Amino acid sequence: MTNQHSPPTGAGYATTDFMPMDVDRAGRFGSSWSGPRSVVFVVNVDRAFLSHRASWAAAYAGAGARVTVLAQDTGYARAIRELGFGFVALPGTREVSGVTAQIAAAAQILRHLLKIRPQLVVLSATAAYVLGWPAAAFLPSTRFVRVVAGAGRAMSEPRSVAGKVLRLQIRVGGWLRNVWTLFQIEPDLELFCRSGLATRSRSRLIRGTGIDVEVWQPTGITQTTPVRVVFASRLFREKGVDTFVEIARRAGSSDAEFLMYGGLDSGVTSNVSMEEVVGWESEGLLMYRGESSDMRSVLADTDILVFPTRHPEGTPRILIEAAAMGVPVIAADQAGCRAVLGDAGVLVAADDVEGFVSAVELLVGDPTERARLGSLGRARIVDGFSLEHVLEELFRMTRCVPTDR
């Protein structure tokens, strides 16, 4: 790797810097299909749409759809509009609590959907499909697709009143005949169906968002020391931030440097504070590079990615991107990470800090093994997680048909 460790373009980025890298290819894919004329994406926050759903929206637009995004505006509405999509700002939905607040949020989504009257609505992530499902009862001719990107909070706190209410809402939504549910991993599909939260006949499995494997590919940059060990995720504790800090504390040496990328996520109660991050930097444990709009540049300058998540993941996009670029990955041994990596990565029990330390130390000292894992990971992503593979499954699920164009 280069020794010039300057922050990648877009770290601490402006809105217009954030342009997803897969949208052009997705639009070209969609141009050979015919589908719904109007599509709405309901997403918790605008940046989550850009990072995880923009390529899907571009594919539908390529197939002739008018695409509108309903999301909380945290500063990325302009970037969404610059991609050619409509944007309607919603109030914060990620941590909506209380019956009155939930009814108000659901009513606002319903009002916008009744005005647009789309043929397809994609409800992305828990808050979106909990608050968006009532609209399906008022729009019986519209197909609603709930995207379950990891069981997450739907299955947390099983005995709490809030948890029971949440699952009741998901269950009622799943009863409606025009509501379908899309899962990223088989265990989540089985769990939801077994728990009555989804109907098996209207459930499908699609592995992730899909990426352009010609864009996300190894750069061929020669590795040098110090070895760059990277954590990249939203900064809340379930993502394994504390574990990464402890890894840096125990495995730190002159042969490795530890870097952390990700936004401070005030929308989650277990968020990490800037004071904590400054403290870790002052101890010399790691360097914090903020949130990046250009993960390809970050990964091109990464030797090892570490993802010690305890969060119930779907198929984490950061793992797919890293593996596609030939970056060796050490991740928590859970269903979502296993689905992405298989035997092409190092999987460690999420609570086994010593196991993570040992794995990091092993790969830091063994460039041959890093190269081997990187090659295996690249082949696995090309085989099962390419953009075309995912989009074709998505389009067939949502009644799109190939054309002769």
Give the range of the structural domain holding residue 25, as residue numbers without chain letter.
Answer: 21-211+386-402
Q: Are residues 375 and 394 in the same domain?
A: no
Q: Are residues 118 and 261 in the same domain?
A: no
pTM listed for this prediction: 0.84
The SS3 assignment for 41 reads: strand
Tell me whether strands 33-34 and 401-402 are parallel, antiparallel or unpaired: antiparallel
User: Within a domain: residue 31?
Assistant: yes
Q: Which of 300, 335, 231 is nearest to 6 (CA)?
A: 300
User: Within a domain: residue 221?
Assistant: no
Q: Which of 302, 298, 219 is nearest to 257 (CA)?
A: 302
Can you tell me the distance from the alpha carbon of 315 to that of 184, in angstroms, rounded to the nearest whole number?
A: 6
pLDDT bucket at 130, cuts 50 / 70 / 90: confident
User: Within a domain: residue 9?
Assistant: no
pLDDT bucket at 2, cuts 50 / 70 / 90: very low
CB burial of residue 117 (10 Å; 0-12, 13-18, 19+): exposed
pLDDT bucket at 1, cuts 50 / 70 / 90: very low
Q: Are residues 337 and 396 in the same domain?
A: no
Q: Which of 212, 232, 230, 218 is nearest to 325 (CA)?
A: 218
Element (H, E) at 111: helix 99-116
User: Within a domain: residue 6?
Assistant: no
Number of domains in the chain: 2
Q: Are residues 194 and 240 in the same domain?
A: no
User: Within a domain: residue 219?
Assistant: no
Q: Are residues 328 and 364 in the same domain?
A: yes
Q: Are residues 261 and 172 in the same domain?
A: no
Q: Are residues 394 and 371 in the same domain?
A: no
Instruction: Summarize pLDDT for 181-228 with one digit per residue, the tens.
Output: 999 999 999 999 998 999 999 999 998 889 999 999 998 766 668 999
Domain containing 33 — which CATH number?
3.40.50.2000
User: Within a domain: residue 1?
Assistant: no
Q: Are residues 242 and 365 in the same domain?
A: yes
